[in-house]
Chains A and B, each alone.
Chain A
Amino acid sequence: MDSLEDGPQVQVKFITQQRQFAIPETAIQTPARLRRYGLSQIINLVLQNEGEKQRPFDFLIDGEFLRTSLAEYLEEKGMSTENLLTVEYVESMLPPTPLSSYEHDDWVSAVKAHRQGGFLTGSYDNHVRLWNKQAECTQVMTGHSGAVKTVQWLTCDGDSGTLLSGALDRSILAWEYNQSDNSHSILYECRGHTGGVESIAVNAAGDRFASGSADASIKLWTTTVPTVSDHIEEVTETRKKRKTVKEDRILKAPIANFSAHTGPVSAVVFNPTSSDTLYSAGWDHSVRVWDVENHVNLTTKNCEKVVHCLDYSALSGLLASGHADPVIRLWDPRSEDSSVVKQTLSGHQNWVSTVSWSPTSSYMLASGSYDGLIKVWDIRAKGALYTLSHGKGSKKVFSIDWSDEILLSGGEDNQMKIHKMQDMSGRDEA
């Protein structure tokens, strides 16, 4: 520590919101030239963590990550070393580690993980695949006549459950599966869209789901399994082949249609805390908030770019959207102002095709882009925390899903890739 005494010193008070790492809130004379690693060592020293127990910490000053030395930070902000500096520290997120990747027959357009169940993937080979927790492909569900664009869990309890898939064939299929006997069946087919289904969202209660389609409409459906087909005006007399296929399916009609969008709807997301609130985004450059119960478009937020994806974080209450430009925009859905972007995150090189908030942290999100990269962001930091390559070359990433400790991604290179993420639950206790 003798060498640490050199150079200017600054008085630092370390605070944290993670109680297990709390240290006494007294000012500590710290050399100004220390960077993150040195400060982390100090905290570990105070906590008397040694050897294996040592943990890396990140340091926040005024809600911003310290990425330089203290002296450089003070100089940049024009602050004096005489002042007492309050530094918040959080345990660092460990870099994601790639676990494995799984080959598909075609482009992987949709991935979804479930806490209990496993993973779902939708592919351009029209199949929906079900993977168990050991990452074995247990079921290949055949039924769509177009590329599967989106998959969504409906229910899942252990080995059995129900799920939804939307495809370019304009239909949404509800599936029932049972892992124990390796069986699956189509519960019903949702008909009504005239364009490919781009996105499906299930509300928190699990009794409704919404779908966004390229025909610029959002349709709302119930999850109850009907016994008889709803009456749908269907063109059946032309194509014999299709008629035979459809005969054995129970058809379902939407209970509501939201048609405020003027371009293809690319993403729909339910607010997990209130089942009545639906967020949607589309190619008409708008992000819309809907009151599902009253079928009212509450607010519309506009930007200049096509919105490709949307995700809502219940922890931070923010919407993140990916666009036809390399920027991720964060929106506060509660604000009434129509064009206020709360924050932008730039770092990608191409369109951002998919975003996913961390389920455990209110600051972390992941994004996938057409430049073939997955980036993990902390919205307090200026740049991306980690950049992961999805696959070989710069093949497009179409879908990612961040669930508890894993990050799923699927893309143009026919791979579903799994990254292990650190669980950050309990970090942001207020």
Chain B
Amino acid sequence: MPARPTRKAAAAAKPAPVAPNKAAAPAPKSRKRTVDEAKEESDDEFGEVAIDMNSDDEDASEGDDEDEDEDAEEFPEEEGQDMSAADLDEDDEEEEDSEDSYMDGDSIADSQEENEDDDDDIEEDSDDEEGRDFDALMREDDIDPNFGHNLNEPLPEESDYNPIKRQYPEIDPSYDSDSSTEENENTVGNIPMEWYDEYPHIGYDIDGKKIMRPATGDELDKFLSTMDDPDSWLSAHNYKEGQDVKLTAEELDIIRRLEGNRIPDADYNPYEDQVEFFSSKTEIMPLSAAPEPKRRFIPSKHEAKRIMKIVRAIREGRIVPRKSGYVPPKPKYYNLWNDSEDKPREEHVMHITAPKMKLPTHDESYNPPAEYLPTEEEIKEWNEMDKEDRPKNYLPQKYNALRNVPGYGQFIQERFERCLDLYLAPRVRKNRLNIDPESLIPKLPSPRDLQPFPTRLAIEYLGHEGRVRSISVDPSGLWLASGSDDKTVRVWEVSTGRCMATYHVDELVTSVVWGPNKDIAVLAVSCGYKVGLILPEKLFSPELTLHSEEYLKAGFANVAATDANAKATWKQPTPAEYEQGIRVWIHLQKPVKQVTWHRKGDYFSTVAPDANNSAVLIHQLTKHQTQQPFKKTKGAVQRVMFHPTKPMFFVATQRYVRQYNLQRQELVKTMMTGVKWVSSLDVHPAGDNLIIGSYDKRLCWFDLDLSSKPYKTLRYHTQAIRSVAYHKRYPLFASCADDGHVQIFHGMVYNDLLQNPLIVPVKILKDVHKRVDALGALCVEWHPNQPWLISSGADHTIKLFS
């Protein structure tokens, strides 16, 4: 083992360039020389120790490897075995595997420096570098004799198989094979080395320690060394290291070649045989059999045009070369890994994020539970199905390990389809109103809380033989009058349904109304062209009867001369009629449709729609006078009504309801009903609201203080509404229609002007009256004191509901 002591010496010599006392030592002329000297010195000083240190180990390792220190030995031993195995492989088999060739390298290294390898692995890292120093020296020494040999080395033979492939000299895999770790590298980098001229050091090594300038001789020394050393002309000065480096044979060769204007790489053959791909070898499947088109050989006119365009633009100054201050835009870089702040682009206002894909479920697992695996039939069915019809584009499959899962062949396809979906599917931003639908429904009290209101049939009043067109309850609430198409007026006892009196007239009775004054018992009846005033004798006390009689007759004395042109004439009844109870007849020019009383019971108004301008007449009972309140009436008057408290008068034409002030004789208000044909009208007992019914099934509630448009329009009937009525005392109103139903509503009017009336439908009395000739319920009337509703219909009946 001649190498070992020298290596230890090198290790000892390593700190030499740094240590100041070593700097005082005689400066070597070259690197090699310095090392040599150091070698000799270290031999003297440390050689013995080094031998001692290693001698025990060495002996032991030579004798028995297993005795070595456990921590350190295990790996090298194995390696050694592997290597030996590799050696055997190489010997036995001639095959060249990638692995084997790798092992080859090892084995070669082994053969060269067998002992060193063993030692190196065992030794500590600090020793490695020292070893390298030595090896580098050794290699340099080795190369020298073969200097010329490298140059003359014949080119490796080109195999037929791959003519371009070249055989490079094999890399020596020893630790010093990497030149970067060869020495104490100067780490100052590529800087002008004259910066260090004034310093004793020339830079710093990897540990930050100063690298001292190697001692350089003066010109004489240089000259002497060149004289002494025959190879001095082969060395070059390394400024970084501050010393001369001896050039290797390869380097010299490269220089020589460069000087000779030859290709630096000796192994490169510039004159290799041309491989004529398209001419020499006939392809079995030619890339193209088409002959070269002619255009390949003709300069492109199109390109010429474009170029000329640019040229012209440059000449005319339209294209200006970059201005002097132009700074090319800096490329923008995004922080890929920071996903919070740095967004590549602000989201557009209308940007809609793509819907997230569904997360994979069990059957997409590579190892799904057995129940997710398809059966044979299912697989077959899946395979037979059209691709579009398949519920899923995969079949669950089972792999017992994740590494067995093959690449996903459908990946591109799936990505494409996803992108296609996103692109083609219109995504629209929908502004959803987050409103609870329940909150939109007005909060109405339950009908149960709004009692009393009529719910069930109590009494039927039977006896009429024609449609009962009109009913009225007297102010005391005991007597009910009804007028019918059988040309009779009947008076009924409300509580029992007993018909107490029947009055025969000669025309269909269109309207019956009790006088509103409790002190005067009078029933106004309109039939044909006449209006009759009836005094039902037996029903009332003698005092009341007498008083009423006087009241009714008083006017006859007043009217002395009857005008021939008068719109109405007041006449005495015949004795027979008088015996019946009829006290006064008023003859009009046209058929009377409606009679309505003023609240005090002195005035009453009649409506005869056919009588154009005199359609509405107001009669005064005490004076037997008739006035025509309107010189002209607009439209066909349907209904009229006195205001319950004020001197107001309501006239309902087909489409409008007009409110007049009778004292001032002016129009107060016109209400736009919005219906096509008003059929009925009633005014709330407080006078601030009114309801109308129409033949187009609507019931409109007007708040007179609010607007000329309906406050509420109720469409609950399926047929024309015939009659509407307010209750005088209870917050109730009702409507009846040709569908035979009667609807009852809670209509609360508050004294507070700010609070709108509350309208709640509380009850539908269904099929109250049978439909006869498309007519159902004809009239509704409320009992004046009780929450009882009375309705009459085309089926000849009158019904009371309580």
Contact = CB atoms under 8 A, between A and B. Distances in A.
Q: Is the interface of B mostly helix, strand, loop or mixed?
A: loop
Of the candidates A147, A238, A324, the one having the most CB atoms from chain B within 10 angstroms of its own CB is A324
A194 B497 contact: no
Contact of B786 (A145, A170, A306): A306
Interface in A93-124: 107, 109, 124
A331 to B, nearest CB: 20
Interface in B493-508: 493, 495-498
A283 B786 CA distance: 8
Nearest to A237: B546
Interface stretch (B66-74, B407-415, B451-459): B451-459
Contacts of A235: 542-543, 546
A304 interface: yes
A370 B546 CA distance: 35
A396 B496 contact: yes
A145 B459 contact: no
A195 B476 CA distance: 10
A239 interface: yes
A238 B478 contact: no
B478 A264 contact: yes
B549 interface: yes
A242 interface: yes
B452 A304 contact: yes
Interface in A373-413: 396, 398, 412
A38 interface: no
A195 B541 contact: yes
A107 B541 contact: no
Contacts of B456: 350
Interface residues of A, number: 35
A398 B538 contact: no
Contact of A238 (B476, B538, B546): B546
Contacts of B542: 234-235, 238-239, 242
B254 interface: no
Interface residues of B, number: 27
Contacts of B476: 195, 214, 264
B802 interface: yes
B498 A124 contact: yes
A107 B458 contact: no
A305 to B, nearest CB: 8
A370 B497 CA distance: 11
A91 interface: no
B477 interface: yes
A239 B541 CA distance: 13
B538 A324 contact: no
A351 interface: yes
Interface string A225-245: 000000000110011001000
Given A306-B786, A350-B458, A283 B543 contact: no
A169 interface: yes
A170 B476 CA distance: 15
A397 to B, nearest CB: 11
B451 A325 contact: no
A146 interface: yes
Given A169-B538, A306-B786, A351 B458 contact: yes
Contact of B478 (A146, A169, A195, A350): A195
Of the candidates B457, B459, B478, the one having the most CB atoms from chain A within 10 angstroms of its own CB is B478
B802 A145 contact: no
Interface string B648-659: 000000000000
A324 B478 contact: no
A263 interface: yes
Interface in A127-141: none
A304 B730 CA distance: 13
Interface in B433-478: 451-452, 456-459, 476-478
B478 A214 contact: yes
Nearest to A239: B542
B541 A324 contact: no
A352 to B, nearest CB: 11
Interface string B524-552: 00000000000000110111111001000
B785 interface: yes
B538 A351 contact: no
Contacts of A351: 458-459, 802
Contacts of A304: 451-452
A232 to B, nearest CB: 11
A155 B661 CA distance: 64
Given A324-B458, A370-B458, A283 B477 contact: yes
Contacts of A306: 786, 802
Nearest to A242: B542
A170 B785 contact: no
A325 B478 contact: no
A147 B492 CA distance: 13
Contacts of A215: 541
Contacts of A147: 498
B543 A194 contact: yes
Nearest to A349: B456
Nearest to B452: A304
Given A283-B477, A306-B786, A324-B458, A238 B498 contact: no
B744 to A, nearest CB: 16
A51 B457 CA distance: 49
Contacts of B549: 238
B497 to A, nearest CB: 7
B785 A325 contact: no
A107 B498 contact: yes
A308 B478 CA distance: 13
A124 B549 CA distance: 26
Interface in A340-359: 350-351
Contacts of B538: 145-146, 168-169
B746 to A, nearest CB: 15
A215 B544 CA distance: 12
B802 A324 contact: yes
A109 B802 CA distance: 21
A396 B478 contact: no
A396 B495 CA distance: 11
Given A235-B546, A304-B452, 6 more contacts: A107-B496, A238-B542, A263-B785, A264-B478, A306-B786, A351-B802
24 contacts: A145-B538, A193-B541, A194-B543, A194-B544, A196-B478, A214-B476, A235-B542, A235-B543, A238-B546, A239-B542, A242-B542, A263-B477, A264-B477, A264-B478, A283-B786, A306-B786, A306-B802, A324-B786, A324-B802, A325-B802, A350-B457, A351-B458, A396-B496, A398-B496
Closest 3 CB pairs of A and B: A194-B541, A235-B542, A324-B802
Interface of A: 107, 109, 124, 145-147, 168-170, 193-196, 214-215, 234-235, 238-239, 242, 263-264, 283, 304-306, 308, 324-325, 350-351, 370, 396, 398, 412
